[in-house]
Chains A and B, each alone.
Chain A
Amino acid sequence: MRLEKCWFCSSTVYPGHGIQFVRNDAKIFRFCRSKCHKNFKMKRNPRKVKWTKAYRRVHGKDMTQDSTFEFERKRNRPERYDRNLAENVLKAIPKIDKIRVSREEQHHRNRMKGKRQKQHREAARELKQSISLVKAPSVFQQDQSLTLPKIVVSVSQQQSENRMEE
């Protein structure tokens, strides 16, 4: 039994699931569920819809190139049954799966590396720019310790020149 991939979201279409649409030039579009079929009928591009595999691949969210993907391949010739081969394959499947999952986690960790520092920077900026929502400006004039230290920026005659132009 062949497990096909959904045209829209690239998930596996198991036997008895979904719908397939045959265009007049004999191209077959398989869909895993009505959600994907409806999106196709709305002429949406799977590369632009965020929840599809195609979007995640294009935007670098998921691991795309890896040797663990080489094992799953579509063959147009039926493989001749070999008992030893089948046994070895069944043994190898969980092992390969484990390696793939760990590599995907590694990829995700690499992708999320600078997130903590980014959050810190954003929080600091938020504090600096909108502290006036929490405390009135008059409070800061009374107590200097509440504000962040002021940065001295040298501004020369540029301002006056601009005013002249206006």
Chain B
Amino acid sequence: MAATVASRCSRLGRSLFGGLRNSFPGLLTTSHELTCSNFLSQQQQRTFIQMRTVLKVVDNSGAKKVMCIQALKGKKGARLGDTIIASVKEAHPNGKVKKGKVVYGVVVRAAMQKGRCDGSEVKFDDNAVVLVDKQGQPIGTRVFGPVPHELRQKKHVKILTLAGHIA
């Protein structure tokens, strides 16, 4: 995404300062790089996991990326610990789950903050999911990265026991 923004900026610069560019090219490029980095340093507003959200799969089920097609709970979308229905967009060549299949998943990491039982909040680096079957049993046998302890209230104890770090 960064690359596309940078290229767009440079294209705009070329059209605006086309005549001037020949005279002092070094100065112009530096100023443009500065404006681009300032724009990117502001973090984007994080929202719910909704239809068309692409999530990372953090287990060894074989899928790499899934796209959310339905949140099973909530009007606006799914949050940390909720279950979603997703379609597999990228998969390893010889895994259990194949590309194009419709799967269930539990959101184990969400970049949008979620309130905890004591009133504080927790947020993660990215949006990640662990694939489960309809009964809620995980398809893979390992879970990578940190998972929140709220999964215990959601009755996903199996995921918690497989995970290495619990936050």
B35, chain A: closest CB distance, angstroms: 17
Contacts of B119 in A (CB 8 A): 15-17
Chain B residues with CB under 8 Å of A20's CB are 120-123, 167
The residue on B at minimum CB distance from A16 is B119
Taken residue by residue from 124 to 146, chain B's Cβ proximity to chain A (1 for < 8 Å, 0 otherwise) reads as 11100000000000000000011
Q: Please, how many angstroms separate the alpha-carbon atoms of A41 and B120 in the complex?
A: 18
A18 to B121 CA separation, bound complex (whole angstroms): 7
Distance in angstroms from A129 CB to nearest chain B CB is 41
Q: Mark A1-40, 1 if CB is under 8 A from B, else 0.
A: 0000000000001011111111110101000000000000
Say yes or no: A24 contacts B122, CB within 8 Å.
no
The size bracket of the interface on B is: 10 to 19
The SS class assigned to the A binding surface is loop
**Residues A16 and B120 in contact, CB atoms below 8 Å apart:** yes
Q: How far, in whole Å, are A12 and B56 apart by their CA atoms in the complex?
A: 34
State which residues 91-106 of B face A: CB under 8 Å: none
Structural contact, A19 and B113, CB atoms closer than 8 A: yes
B145 to chain A: which residues have CB within 8 Å? Answer: 24, 26
Kindly identify which residue among B41, B43, B164, B167 contacts A22, using a CB–CB cutoff of 8 Å: B167
Which of A15, A22, A24, A26 is close to B118, meaning CB atoms less than 8 Å apart?
Answer: A15
**A residues less than 8 Å from B43 (CB atoms):** 41
Q: Is there an interface contact between A22 and B122, defined as CB atoms closer than 8 Å?
A: yes
Choice from A16, A21, A42 contacting B123 with Cβ under 8 Å:
A21
Which residue of the partner chain, among B113, B120, B125, B148, contacts A24 with CB atoms under 8 Å? B125
> In the assembled complex, which residues on chain A have CB atoms less than 8 Å from the CB atom of B122?
19-22
Minimum Cβ distance to chain B for residue A3 (Å): 12
**Contact partner of A23 among B118, B120, B125, B164, CB < 8 A?**
B125
- On whether the beta carbons of B167 and A28 are closer than 8 Å, the reply is yes
Contacts of B120 in A (CB 8 A): 13, 15-20
List of 8 A-B pairs having minimum Cβ-Cβ separation, nearest first: A16-B119, A26-B165, A26-B146, A19-B121, A22-B167, A24-B125, A16-B118, A15-B118
Spell out B's residues near A (CB within 8 Å). Answer: 41, 43, 109, 113, 118-126, 145-146, 148, 164-165, 167
Task: Give 6 CB contacts A-B under 8 Å.
Answer: A13-B120, A20-B123, A21-B122, A22-B122, A22-B146, A22-B148
